[in-house]
Structure 1
Amino acid sequence: MTKNKKIVTNVLFIVMIPLIILLGIYLFNDRKYNIISILIAIIACIPGFYKYEKQDSNMLLIVIIAVLSAISIIGRVAFGLVPFFKPVSAVVILSGLYLGKEEGFLIGALSAIGSNIFFGQGPWTPFQMFTWGMIGFISGIPYISKKCRESKFALSLLGAFSGIIFTLIMDLWSTLNFQDVSLERYGVLLVKAIPVTLIYIVSNIIFLLLLKEPIGNMLERIDQKYGIKEMGE
């Protein structure tokens, strides 16, 4: 991917998607969340169009993205009876580590909107799409990706960081849905969410350590045979 295309990707994920979410909150009063979710999904696909255009061999990478998204969705549904203890973040992180930033974001976004078919769509869906998307995006940053693939300790730190990020962004959504938006209210929500955040952290670390070998080895074998990392570059 060229430098200009990387800039476009970063702008889309870090600037445009948050602006669209805020548009949904303040212009549509969170009533058009389905439209906002679809827009986010479309935007998340745009970097893929850049990277895969006119390259039939990249169909394999698209299939892998679909499979990992399905694993993430099924994992969330399977642990539906266990509050806050889910493998979604772990699968999204591993997707970013082994496939790249753009693929990590896309899989995170698809995991949220896909699993909410079972858990219920709502104004929280765009925020979940962005949150899990950014977790995948951060995981795909080359330096972070390299360190976490080599070290279980670094991988665990990323899992803990992702649990904190999830709370920070989702509690921001909760704060914005109050009429009297304030940093004080946001701080109160964060403090109340500490027990849940700790569950997120523990859940992420456990699932990362359990899934790194099977998912990581599978993606490495496919990469050795078909060069999927080169496809995404």
Structure 2
Amino acid sequence: MLTKNRVSLILLLLIFIFLYLALQLEEHYLWISFGFIIFTILLVLVRFERGSLEAREIVLLAILAAIAAVARIPFASIPSVQPTTFIIMMSGLVFGAQSGFLIGLVAALASNMILGQGPWTPWQMAAWGMVGLTAGMLRNTPLLRYKWGKVLFAIIWGFLFGWIMNLWGLLTVTGSGMPLDRNVFLTYFAASALFDTMHAASNVFFLLLFGDTWIKILSRFKKKYGLLYEV
């Protein structure tokens, strides 16, 4: 039987395979994205194998993913500033790694249906999925039990998200024939530093302003209705 830790490790391995396929088959990014979500959903359902999957749990995941997706739209004109990362982080923190991972995947794909799909979509899915996954995996550690740890986590993922997208950009550029050297690498990452800082700052802003409220509300749903407990 797969434990929650094994499922999380499988999801991490799946991310690397997914990103490799996204790079090699860039023109088929949308099919790869949908296939990744379907496979991940099937894998996540393993954690319900000791009990029956309840419709209200699926609905809750869908609602949180929809909120995270829609939250991007009002901030689309402000580069890298949006509450999506914060929402995915809170979801993983309360409901666990697999739920946070799935919410991150769906939120990226759903929001890009409005904001625009492209070869970057699978990479955004992987990055936001990793936010939810790591928040869930670390939720019982001292790091995320305290406010300072949550702030540090939010800052780190503000930059990590941008670096993952930078990696896609660099691999795309080098794939077109441009040589990759240290100067190109440093220039590329330096150019995104301001946007990554804005992302990290917005994560901290939403966390400090709404973090406690979100945790209380989501925890209340989890406890009252017995939703999304990891087995």
Is residue 31 from structure 1 mapped to residue 31 from structure 2 by the alignment?
Answer: no
Which letter maps to 1:217? K
Which letter maps to 2:19? I
1:132-174 CA-partner distances (Å, limit 9, x unpaired): 00011111114566642x4221111110011111011000000
1:139-150 aligned within 5 A: 139-143=135-139, 147-148=143-144, 150=145
1:169 pairs with one of 148, 158, 164: 164
On the 8 A contact 1:17/1:130 being kept in 2, the answer is yes
Rate the CA distance shift 1:52–1:34 in 2: closer, same or farther, 3 A: same
Which letter maps to 2:225? Y
1:1-233 aligned within 5 A: 2-3=2-3, 6-11=5-10, 13-26=11-24, 28=25, 30-53=26-49, 55-56=51-52, 58-143=54-139, 147-148=143-144, 150-178=145-173, 179=176, 180=178, 182=180, 184=182, 185-230=184-229, 232-233=230-231
Which shifted more, 64-73 or 137-146? 137-146
Structure 1: gaps spanning 5 or more residues: none
Which shifted more, 74-83 or 132-141? 74-83
Cα offset for 1:203? 0.6
Cα offset for 1:40? 1.7
CA distance in 2, matches of 1:102, 1:92: 11
On the 8 A contact 2:22/2:122 being kept in 1, the answer is no
Give me the identity figure in percent: 29
TM-score calculated relative to the size of structure 1: 0.89
Which shifted more, 15-24 or 197-206? 15-24
1:68-90 CA-partner distances (Å, limit 9, x unpaired): 11111111012222221100100
Cα offset for 1:97? 0.2
Cα offset for 1:53? 4.3
Structure 2: gaps spanning 5 or more residues: none
Which letter maps to 1:152? K
CA distance in 1, matches of 2:181, 2:92: 31
Total equivalences in the alignment: 227
Rate the CA distance shift 1:152–1:8 in 2: closer, same or farther, 3 A: closer
On the 8 A contact 2:155/2:201 being kept in 1, the answer is yes
Which letter maps to 2:88? V
Which letter maps to 1:120? G
TM-score calculated relative to the size of structure 2: 0.89
The runs of at least 4 aligned residues of structure 1 exceeding 6 Å deviation read: none
Determine helix, strand or coil for the equivalent of 1:49: helix
